[in-house]
């Protein structure tokens, strides 16, 4: 199957819109996939376990080391989870009366956000109380689907929702503790919010030309006010995370056929190419507040997909597999998030594994939608 650059971009947008995209998994892989928490000293690597199935995908970590994400259960249902401090123990968060749930973010109070199916089999954004207790439907912007992607320490939630008519997704922000849902922008017909900091600055991506013009990373002012494009390295840009200094990470077209992870300065100023681990692709997915360390994944010169971490302010990209005392036979393929203690959550697979970038157009920041087909 040949995937052109234009068709790849369209698939990326559909992947973002149709799935919350949790934890990279090769579309041709049918093996065990697990998530791990890595100690800040680079020595310890702990398997988070599962909810009974053979796959688990971590999505977010707070400063207590509590991890959220989703796991297959023994019957093969996808359910959101939260762990205890330092990734110990895994608890099913329940649902909004539907079957599947997906957790995507957590704040320091332990409030969790994500998407859950409802009794009518529609996916709705949710928020929990502290420590993952209880699940509240955040509603939508008038359509039949919404997805929460990030939460700050005030409980403001950012994500995207279908609007009345159901044709386009629009980024949203809520008030504290998930109260009220307000549409952001957009710069064009569609927008997707992917991260939020404690000031309420939201980042994501949007088109700017009605009917086309994809895609442009954006940042808002405090509490979601205003929407400004971040610029680019060479072409399309996608923002995925932001810290409290306003440093933004994501990925951008670096040259024809290549995409590279990037970091900006405070408040989204400037865009710096983070490079790769030797291949043509790298994707940043998380950044911490204290040091500005960035995590994500890159392919190597051999085409393998490896998790990476940078130093402070995005300086230097290092293969996590070269630093960590990983269990024998485990390769870390994607680093998803990092907290202020330097603890990293990452996805790993057993060796041997084919790391060729097959169907690269389905990959968004190392994530592939686990469900909806388009």
Q: Where are the domains of the chain?
A: 5-362
> Residue 121 has what pLDDT?
87
> Residue 237 has what pLDDT?
93
DSSP states of 13-56: HHHHHH----S---TT--S-BEEEEE-TTS--EEE---BEEEEE
Q: What percent of the chain has pLDDT over 70?
A: 82
> Residue 231 has what pLDDT?
82
Pick the range with the lowest mean pLDDT from 46-55, 91-100, 191-200, 227-236: 227-236
Q: How confident is the model at residue 374 (pLDDT cuts 50, 70, 90)?
A: very low
| Residue with tokens 């911490």, as numbered in its chain | 288
Q: 5-362: what CATH class?
A: mainly beta
> Residue 33 has what pLDDT?
87
- How far is CA 163 from each of CA 12, 51, 63, 145, 183, rounded to the nearest angstrom? 20, 34, 34, 8, 9
Q: Residue 306 is inside which H or E element, if any?
A: strand 305-310
Res 36 pLDDT > 60 = yes
Tens digits of residue pLDDT in 211-232: 556 789 999 999 999 999 998 8
| Residue with tokens 């996608």, as numbered in its chain | 238
Mean pLDDT, residues 305-318 taken together? 96
Pick the range with the lowest mean pLDDT from 79-83, 105-109, 215-219, 296-300: 215-219
Cα 49-196-261 angle, rounded to 5 deg: 75
Q: What's the predicted TM-score (pTM) here? A: 0.86
Res 183 pLDDT > 50 = yes
Tens digits of residue pLDDT in 136-157: 999 999 999 999 999 999 999 9
Provide the token pair at 122.
């529609």
């Amino acid at each position: 199957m040949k995937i052109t650059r234009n068709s790849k971009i369209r698939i990326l947008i559909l992947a973002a819109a149709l799935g919350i995209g949790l934890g990279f998994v090769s579309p041709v892989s049918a093996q065990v996939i697990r998530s791990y928490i890595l100690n800040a000293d680079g020595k310890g690597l702990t398997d988070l376990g599962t909810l009974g199935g053979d796959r688990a995908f971590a999505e977010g970590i707070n400063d207590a080391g509590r991890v959220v994400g989703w796991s297959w259960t023994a019957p093969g249902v996808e359910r959101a989870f939260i762990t205890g401090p330092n990734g110990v123990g895994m608890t099913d968060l329940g649902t909004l009366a539907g079957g599947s749930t997906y957790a995507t973010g957590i704040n320091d109070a332990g409030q969790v956000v994500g998407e859950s199916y409802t009794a009518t089999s529609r996916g709705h954004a949710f928020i929990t109380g502290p420590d993952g207790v209880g699940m509240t439907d955040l509603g939508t912007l008038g359509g039949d689907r919404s997805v929460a992607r990030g939460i700050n320490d005030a409980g403001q939630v950012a994500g995207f929702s279908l609007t009345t008519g159901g044709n386009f997704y629009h980024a949203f922000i809520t008030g504290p503790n998930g109260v009220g849902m307000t549409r952001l922008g957009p710069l064009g017909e569609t927008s997707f919010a992917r991260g939020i900091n404690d000031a309420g600055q939201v980042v994501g991506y949007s088109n700017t030309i009605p009917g086309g013009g994809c895609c442009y990373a954006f940042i808002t002012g405090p509490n979601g006010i205003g929407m400004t494009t971040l610029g680019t390295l060479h072409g399309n840009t996608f923002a995925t995370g932001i810290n409290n200094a306003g440093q933004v990470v994501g990925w951008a077209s670096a040259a024809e056929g290549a995409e590279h992870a990037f970091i900006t300065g405070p408040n989204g100023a400037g865009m710096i190419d983070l490079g790769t681990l030797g291949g043509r692709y790298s994707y940043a997915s998380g950044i911490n507040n204290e040091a500005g360390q960035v995590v994500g994944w890159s392919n190597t010169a051999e085409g393998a997909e490896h998790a990476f971490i940078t130093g402070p302010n995005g300086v230097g990209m290092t293969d996590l597999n070269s630093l960590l005392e990983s269990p024998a036979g485990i390769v870390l393929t994607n680093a998803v998030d990092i907290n202020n203690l330097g603890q990293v959550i990452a996805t790993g697979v057993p060796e041997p594994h084919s790391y060729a970038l097959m169907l690269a157009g389905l990959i968004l920041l190392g994530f592939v939608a686990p469900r909806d087909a388009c």
